[in-house]
């Protein structure tokens, strides 16, 4: 037997017990005639003590142990003379009587400490060592705990966990598929699912009533810091529901998670329409940890010979509380920030409401003090505040103001990772125009139901059609999205037509689903949460990579196992494919 206890378990109640422990050498210290070793495992750290006078041979053996050696010891639990009350095991130590080295360890390429000296590439290559570090393992522990709590909640709500297939069919809709050549069906390919969307809808047709799955999904996209080719969704679907039913049930899930995992009472989750989100925040995923709403001011600024404002479709701004003392340099920084190509603004107008009650603006040669007073009034500004104003085409300007708002929120410390502001954004548009392809795309996906009262607009004014679609946003990050689905063949066919599918294309790709709708499909809807993102938000992290045990890098490579890699000619031959590079 390798151990009677873990390294996090022993305390004063175990005094004089003979124990066996196993673990890793965290560090060792030689103090005169004594050698102390911190023995580490997942559960904690226990101090081992060796006495040169009492057992010189054993002590000499202990002094040879290096960092990260795996050892097993027998010993007796004794009280420490110098206690460490920060550790649960800090009042005891083990007087060792037997020491066995289970495995030696080379010097790790970086420090296995909370703060490490290893760069990202090195830590990815030796991911199994990085995972030994407490902060990294704690992220994975959190992920485990959250997965258990999610399932517990959904199981209690009568959701059935059903595994949907991973080897499915490629469809041109949406992002790029990963494909898998079929040896038994030469020339044909499976695809890996971007989501189990059609299968969960079929389960509703089957009368499963409530389905969920925590499931891997796949997208062959060019990667960013928060994208991975494989990612995990909490995928859910319900029958006989309207939007309100779905929102209420999953509000329950979100509140349950915050309560059980972070001991936070959320209360209820506010709701905002897509239209209001765009108007007030310039974003469909606003960070609502802070106010700083967009204020429209077309009615205040037009007709004063300032052509930038006169020619703009929208003039609007935000109020940065207490920033009237921003220096010229700080204001220039902000101007540079909005002029970056990623944001693309042409400039930034400011209005300082100084502490002494005077007003100063970069455009005060066009506007009188009285006019500026009116501006300040529109923003409910008080002395000491700064107003930042942008102008241009409406949609673009709102998005630019959103970026500026987030930047100001960060500068003002209003985006605390320990504060959580969830929000439902509802009433998304059904369709969005895609300039590249010159056709409409489904904003959520082609199975999303238009609002019944808006169906009449589909032909006359498709952009105005709203969907029964909703997103869950937390702290400015989209964590989940869903919709009430189409459940009739006619509406689904009409939808595909509006998305530019021929009848034949629609039938080839989604015929099985439309056929299913003809055999008694119930009204249904659902939601999917990005599990990686949810965990990273809970962990206070910026990237999902930190909550994935074995992530891939930005080229889609696993640098630890060196994958992807070439395969043998025999494999290619059996699969009846060849590479063309």
Which 191-210 residues touch a second copy, going by CB under 8 A?
A: 191-192, 198-199, 202-203, 205-209
- In degrees, rounded to 5, the angle at the alpha carbon of residue 262 between the alpha carbons of residues 261 and 268 is 100
Site track 17-46 with a second copy (rule: CB under 8 A), x = hit = -----x-x---------------xxxx---
Q: Interface with a second copy includes 189 (CB under 8 A)?
A: yes
Shortest separation between residue 541's beta carbon and a second copy, angstroms:
17
Shortest separation between residue 513's beta carbon and a second copy, angstroms:
9
Stretch that binds a second copy, among 120-128, 273-281, 357-365, 407-415 (CB under 8 A): 120-128
Q: Scan residues 53-72 and list those touching a second copy (CB under 8 A).
A: 68-70, 72
Q: Interface with a second copy includes 52 (CB under 8 A)?
A: no
Q: Interface with a second copy includes 517 (CB under 8 A)?
A: yes
Q: Toward a second copy, which CB reaches closer, 181 or 462?
A: 181
Q: Toward a second copy, which CB reaches closer, 405 or 487?
A: 487
Site track 473-512 with a second copy (rule: CB under 8 A), x = hit = --------------xx-----------------------x
Binding-site member from 34, 52, 87, 105 for a second copy (CB under 8 A): 105
Q: Can you spell out the DSSP letters for 175-240?
A: SPPPEEE-SSSTT-EEE--S--HHHHHHHHHTT--EEEEEEEEE------TT--SEEEEEEEEEES
Q: Which residues pair with 284 in a beta bridge?
A: none
Q: Interface with a second copy includes 222 (CB under 8 A)?
A: yes
How far is residue 485's CA from residue 449's CA, in Å, rounded to a whole number?
Answer: 5
Q: Toward a second copy, which CB reaches closer, 390 or 513?
A: 513
User: Is 421:288 a contact under the CB 8 Å cutoff?
Assistant: yes
Stretch that binds a second copy, among 85-93, 224-232, 254-262, 377-385 (CB under 8 A): 224-232
Please give the DSSP secondary-structure letter assigned to residue 276: H
Binding-site member from 166, 264, 378, 494 for a second copy (CB under 8 A): 166
Q: Cis (ω within 30 of 0) for the bond into 564?
A: yes
Stretch that binds a second copy, among 133-141, 271-279, 348-356, 377-385 (CB under 8 A): 133-141
Q: Interface with a second copy includes 520 (CB under 8 A)?
A: yes
Q: Interface with a second copy includes 140 (CB under 8 A)?
A: yes
Q: Toward a second copy, which CB reaches closer, 418 or 568?
A: 568
Q: Interface with a second copy includes 393 (CB under 8 A)?
A: no
Binding-site member from 165, 252, 377, 500 for a second copy (CB under 8 A): 165
Please give the DSSP secondary-structure letter assigned to residue 319: E
Question: What's the maximum distance between 2 C-alpha atoms anywhere in the chain?
Answer: 94
Q: Can you spell out the DSSP letters for 36-57?
A: EEEEEETTEEEEEEEETTT-HH
How far is residue 96's CA from residue 47's CA, in Å, rounded to a whole number?
Answer: 10
From 282, 256, 243, select the one nearest 534 (Cα to Cα): 256
> Which residue matches tokens 């009433």?
427
- The token pair that represents 52 in the structure block: 């040169």
Q: Scan residues 240-259 and list those touching a second copy (CB under 8 A).
A: 240-242, 245
End-to-end CA distance of the chain: 55
Q: Interface with a second copy includes 164 (CB under 8 A)?
A: yes
Site residue total, a second copy (CB under 8 A): 122
The set of residues, in sequence order, having a beta carbon less than 8 Å from that of 310 and lying 6+ positions away, is 302, 303, 304
User: Is 65:35 a contact under the CB 8 Å cutoff?
Assistant: no
Please give the DSSP secondary-structure letter assigned to residue 523: P
Q: Interface with a second copy includes 421 (CB under 8 A)?
A: no
Shortest separation between residue 257's beta carbon and a second copy, angstroms:
16
Stretch that binds a second copy, among 50-58, 114-122, 474-482, 521-529 (CB under 8 A): 521-529
Helix axes 394-411, 328-339, angle to 10 degrees: 130
Q: Interface with a second copy includes 177 (CB under 8 A)?
A: yes
Q: Toward a second copy, which CB reaches closer, 247 or 548?
A: 548
- The token pair that represents 418 in the structure block: 């320990």
How far is residue 360's CA from residue 332's CA, in Å, rounded to a whole number?
Answer: 16
Binding-site member from 53, 57, 117, 163 for a second copy (CB under 8 A): 163
Shortest separation between residue 514's beta carbon and a second copy, angstroms:
12
């Amino acid at each position: 037997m390798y151990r009677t206890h873990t390294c996090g378990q022993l305390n004063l109640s175990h005094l004089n017990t003979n124990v066996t422990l196993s673990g890793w050498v965290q560090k060792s210290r030689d103090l005169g005639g004594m050698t102390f070793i911190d023995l580490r495992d997942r559960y904690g750290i226990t101090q081992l003590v060796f006495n040169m006078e009492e057992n010189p041979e054993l002590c000499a053996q202990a002094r040879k142990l290096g960092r990260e050696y795996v050892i097993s010891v027998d010993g007796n639990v004794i009280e420490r003379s110098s206690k460490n009350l920060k550790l649960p095991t800090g009042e005891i130590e083990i007087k060792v009587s037997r020491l066995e080295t289970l495995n030696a360890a080379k010097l790790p390429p970086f420090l296995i400490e909370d703060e490490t000296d290893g760069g990202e590439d090195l830590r990815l290559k030796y991911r199994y060592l990085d995972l030994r570090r407490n902060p990294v393992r704690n992220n994975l522990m959190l992920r485990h705990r959250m997965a258990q709590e999610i399932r517990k909640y959904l199981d209690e709500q009568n959701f059935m966990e059903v595994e949907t297939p991973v080897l499915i069919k490629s469809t041109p809709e949406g992002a790029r598929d990963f494909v898998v050549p079929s040896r038994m069906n030469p020339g044909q390919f499976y695809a890996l699912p971007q989501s189990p969307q059609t299968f969960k809808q079929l389960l509703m047709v089957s009368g499963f009533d409530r389905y969920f799955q925590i499931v891997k999904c796949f997208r062959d996209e060019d990667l960013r810091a928060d994208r991975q080719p494989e990612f995990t969704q909490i995928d859910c679907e319900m029958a006989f529901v309207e939007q309100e039913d779905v929102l209420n049930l999953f509000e329950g899930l979100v509140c349950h998670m915050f309560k059980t995992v972070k001991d936070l009472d959320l209360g209820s989750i506010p709701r905002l329409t897509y239209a209001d989100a765009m108007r007030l925040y310039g974003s469909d995923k606003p960070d609502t940890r802070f106010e700083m709403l967009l204020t429209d001011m077309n009615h205040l600024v037009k007709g004063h010979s300032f052509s930038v404002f006169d020619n703009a479709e929208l003039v609007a701004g935000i109020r940065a509380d207490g920033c009237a003392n921003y220096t010229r340099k700080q204001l220039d920084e902000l101007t540079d920030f909005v002029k970056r190509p990623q944001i693309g603004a042409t400039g930034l107008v400011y209005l300082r409401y100084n502490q002494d009650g005077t007003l100063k603006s970069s455009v005060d040669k066009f506007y009188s003090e009285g006019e500026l007073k009116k501006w300040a009034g529109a923003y409910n500004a008080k002395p000491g505040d700064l107003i930042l104003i942008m102008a241009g085409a409406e949609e673009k300007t709102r998005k630019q103001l959103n970026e500026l708002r987030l930047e100001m929120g960060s500068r003002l410390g209003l985006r605390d990772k320990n504060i959580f502001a969830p929000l439902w954004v509802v009433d998304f548009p059904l369709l969005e125009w895609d300039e590249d392809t010159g056709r409409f795309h489904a904003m959520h996906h082609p199975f999303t139901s238009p609002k019944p009262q808006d169906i009449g607009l589909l032909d006359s004014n498709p952009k105005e059609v709203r969907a029964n679609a909703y997103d869950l946003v937390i702290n400015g990050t989209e964590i989940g999205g869903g919709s009430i689905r189409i459940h009739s063949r006619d509406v689904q066919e009409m939808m595909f037509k509006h998305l530019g599918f021929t009848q034949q294309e629609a039938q080839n790709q989604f015929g099985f689903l439309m056929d299913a709708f003809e055999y008694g499909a119930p009204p249904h809807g659902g939601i999917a949460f990005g599990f990686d993102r949810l965990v990273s938000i809970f962990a206070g992290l910026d990237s999902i990579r930190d909550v994935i045990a074995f992530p891939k890098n930005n080229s889609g490579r696993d640098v630890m196992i060196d994958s992807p890699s070439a395969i043998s000619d025999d494999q290619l031959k059996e699969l009846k494919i060849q590479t063309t590079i």
